[in-house]
Chains A and B, each alone.
Chain A
């Protein structure tokens, strides 16, 4: 998700096409679950209510030599929202919040990645949530990357963003301190062999 995602482009331009594509495409490791999409929202202004989306998928391209060429796309199954309480999750999925029957998928797709420091980047992209597509900005950080002990190659990032629910047409009033939701994405990608 992060700055370095874009290395793909660099590889592509400098080296042979096939090599580059092979080198830079990562699939988010949802199979062994080394990725998570978490959110938090204030409860009455007194505490943080946290939750996550249990099901999502995604891929990204990244080359640490040309991070600004990175791209990322994440698809979230909104029905998988989990705040550790069945009744509340039912409500969150319902018509006055996520309305997952109408909008079962949320998508983030990057449009630009700009390095903002070593292993840091600002990712701008479109988030489609609740049927509304709007530009958001994710501050991303590369956590690490390299060969894993099992013969694969991995890159991992973490990114955070914040937006108002109302911007995406979610108008349920949860109180003045609960207008914004914060999203944290922990993304580890595996490069297919």
Chain B
């Protein structure tokens, strides 16, 4: 409860600061950070800032209110690559000739990797729930709503795609094998449903790629047109404290 209250205050402060800010240059950013640290000394999310005196470049693991830690960023970019690759693999493998050397191995890889992605998605949710949500302070309210919808669209679509893919293989009671390391048992047996599961899998795969295009175009627009830091934030995360020398704050 106490932590929640603290976060709320911090959010308010960030909003207030961003309202008074005209241009997001390095100088005002540094001032903000200084203000935040003085308001919330010892706050976990800003713990890394306290070490700035040591001038060491520390990897920020957890998300903070101003950016994503390394775990979230790895989730984001690795899953982005994986999702596009799985889409392409899926399209390609269902058209393979029966005598293609990949006729069996491509679907096996697709199934195995898909199951790993399902676990990754679940862990990603847990991680997200256990971390503060970086604040989007330079988007319009409409853009914030849209990005919220796109993000949740991704989560829901991805879950549905992965579950439907799992069902295609397991509806006859067979487990799905994951790279020969382990297998995931069948939970639901309902013969005939595999066709519908396949439809869902295919249609939603197209949908998620459509959403990815929207997401990419929006990110590029925020970056190049709005000059927002939103794309940089997902690439490089919150600025490690050592990058901002102390004296710059007083400049």
Contacts and interface: CB of A to CB of B under 8 A. Distances in A.
B98 A173 contact: yes
Interface stretch (A2-10, A67-75, A87-95): A87-95
Interface residues of B, number: 14
Interface string B178-204: 000000000000011011001000000
A151 interface: no
A79 B98 CA distance: 22
Nearest to A91: B94
A86 B191 CA distance: 7
Nearest to A93: B195
Contact of A173 (B97, B191, B195, B198): B97
B222 to A, nearest CB: 41
The secondary structure that dominates the B interface is loop
Contact of B168 (A86, A93, A173): A86
Contacts of B192: 79-80
Contacts of A84: 172
B98 A86 contact: no
A87 B98 contact: no
Interface in A121-179: 172-175
Given A174-B98, A175-B98, A90 B195 contact: yes
A87 B191 contact: no
A177 B170 CA distance: 29
A90 B99 CA distance: 19
Interface residues of A, number: 14
B83 to A, nearest CB: 22
B18 interface: no
Interface string A57-101: 000000000000000000000011010111101100100000000
B98 A90 contact: no
Nearest to A100: B195
Interface string A103-131: 00000000000000000000000000000
Given A89-B172, A90-B198, A172-B98, 13 more contacts: A79-B192, A79-B195, A82-B191, A85-B172, A86-B170, A86-B174, A87-B168, A87-B169, A87-B172, A87-B194, A89-B194, A90-B194, A175-B98
